[in-house]
Structure 1
């Protein structure tokens, strides 16, 4: 009887071992099994598109993924279509989207139905700062002159804004001038459809000052067509903008950037988040990535998933505050 029971027990243990070996371990490390889509919430040629294609290109070139990847443009609704698209695949780690402050501001403005909390934060990549361009012979000689003019009459300077009120260029302007004591609700703004159009508007004398991404401003500086009176960064930028002071250096405690990040669809598991944390940490350490950061006048600001979650919450508070002051928060 004892021998029979012992034999049965050994067989049972053997079978349990076979079953356990054949089943995937609970909580086992996840990795992509099919092609990964990097979704861009804007059209080809945009800043977001450049970010996504740079990320995808370096991931492929450095073999950080064991599967293929592709960039997919989903413009529309201020990014809403892209975020709705990836959320059609909840908990699926094969879909990522590039983000900017629009992932927060569009909901505050009532332009989007999706809240950033409905997505899974993956990473923050870098900051892209804003330069404030004027013509060489402009009445706006410097920040001190600008603030003096606006305090005397907030309508005396015409701002060219691309591509919408409540967007990054508008918020960067309003944030700095609010801190300078200007009545930001009375500022005069002309909205243009693109960075190219607003630059033409400035060069044609149709507006007085244009806030725009730093790389765009560099092209105009090098052509001798504009001056830049301030940058929105915490510290001075490099290259052609190295001699341009920040708002802070000129007595106005304001910084702002059009940061770029990465999100996944809602419901990603810890193992999927951990995989992407590891991959983007490797990306951020690449020499090729650091060269892209320097070339494009970006400011490195890598944050992992948990840090990105906290960052987005803080950004929501700050953006809601300034948009409320502008009377634009819904």
Structure 2
């Protein structure tokens, strides 16, 4: 055999060997997951989806609502698109599988980022925690109130630099886009927005005066409130939050009808049985009502939310339709 042919054969065997190992590993994962309930976090470890899965897994174990440990696995890609497609294509009947989701999933579905599947392609299970958007400036910012920021945007939208851990079209971009569109009456395309890898990096840029406004979530601010380094101009909730947030006004209080609640919850495959679906609905309801879980949720800086079963399914599908209309308003579709 000539040298090029030998090298080609060797490469073929290496590729074949890797493929066989991968197939074996997938088979092992399925066997393990088949023996345990599983929660897929559609992102890398350490983010909000990981937190959502671990809250569920730890909560069920600590409250005794489930004696078999729950597996938390990770499936990053497309900000949830890979997991959404995976569940629909290959695990649509799996009654032991739930997938973490949030308002961001509804936004991405509205923008068509999950491929051929839309919001009613899965069975939305329930939400057991919530967070709320915030608009934050540095303590020495000239913007003392939300009205100051709105006035600056009206005068010259290019004079205000906003930033967050997300790109244009993301939840965090939507928050400043809504302020621009609904409060200031300017086109969101005229905004200056800087995208960061995460909220921590964006907050660092705010404190370093590289951006003027940080758009994030209230849970991210718990450790910063009282530091004297920031000012939260508004919380995008329907009413004031308690605890460390009790002195921070909502946008509604200041005359602007802008809210951005972020639910944290789960969905299941489209073809799971009604019995499996209702079993998980009952588990989530019982878990959310326990004092142990409420304490765990508070420690993570999250807020109460309790929407389950058919009510939640209808809510998410309708929310995706609303976000689609919003995307058109702000020039994304």
| Same topology, TM > 0.5 | yes
Once the two structures are TM-superposed, the CA of residue 222 in structure 1 deviates from its matched residue by 3.6
Q: Is the 8 A contact 1:162 1:193 kept in 2?
A: yes
Change over 3 Å in CA distance of 1:261–1:177 after alignment to 2: same
Q: Is the 8 A contact 1:230 1:245 kept in 2?
A: yes
**Residue aligning to 1:57:** 58
Q: How does 1:25-36 map to 2 (within 5 A)?
A: 34-36=35-37
The higher radius of gyration belongs to 1
**Residue aligning to 1:193:** 197
CA-based RMSD of the aligned residues comes to: 1.8
Match of 1:147 among 150, 154, 161: 150
Q: How does 1:34-183 map to 2 (within 5 A)?
A: 34-87=35-88, 88-113=90-115, 114-183=117-186
TM-score (norm 2): 0.85
Corresponding residue pairs, total: 298
* Partner Cα distance (1:110, 1:281) in 2: 31
* Partner Cα distance (1:207, 1:45) in 2: 25
SS at match of 1:259: strand
Which range moved further: 281-290 or 106-115? 106-115
1:218 aligns with 2:222: yes
* Partner Cα distance (1:176, 1:255) in 2: 10
**Residue aligning to 2:288:** 284
Which range moved further: 127-136 or 296-305? 296-305
SS at match of 2:130: strand
Once the two structures are TM-superposed, the CA of residue 235 in structure 1 deviates from its matched residue by 1.2
| Unmatched segments (≥5 aa) in structure 2 | 1-32
TM-score (norm 1): 0.85
Q: Is the 8 A contact 1:40 1:74 kept in 2?
A: yes
Change over 3 Å in CA distance of 1:41–1:33 after alignment to 2: closer
* Partner Cα distance (2:215, 2:238) in 1: 16
